[in-house]
Amino acid sequence: MAWPSREEALQLLQEYTTSSNLIAHALAVEAAMRGYARHFGENPDQWGVVGLLHDFDYEKYPDVKDHPYRGAEILGEYGYPEAMVTAILGHADYTGVARESLMSRALYAVDELTGLIVAVALVRPSRSLKDVKVKSVMKKWKDHAFARGVNRRDIERGAQELEVDLRTHVERVLSSLQEVAPDLGL
- Could you read off the pLDDT of 19-66 as tens digits, one per residue? 999 999 999 999 999 999 999 999 999 999 999 999 999 999 999 999
**pTM flag (> 0.95):** yes
Alpha-carbon gap, residue 47 to 140, rounded angstroms: 28
* Domains of the chain by residue range: 6-181
Q: State the pLDDT at residue 2.
A: 86
CA gap 136, 140 in Å, rounded: 6
Predicted confidence (pLDDT) per residue in 84-117, tens digit = 999 999 999 999 999 999 999 999 999 999 999 9
Whole-angstrom distance, CA of residue 53 vs CA of residue 161: 21
For 6-181, CATH number? 1.10.3210
For residue 1, pLDDT beyond 90: no
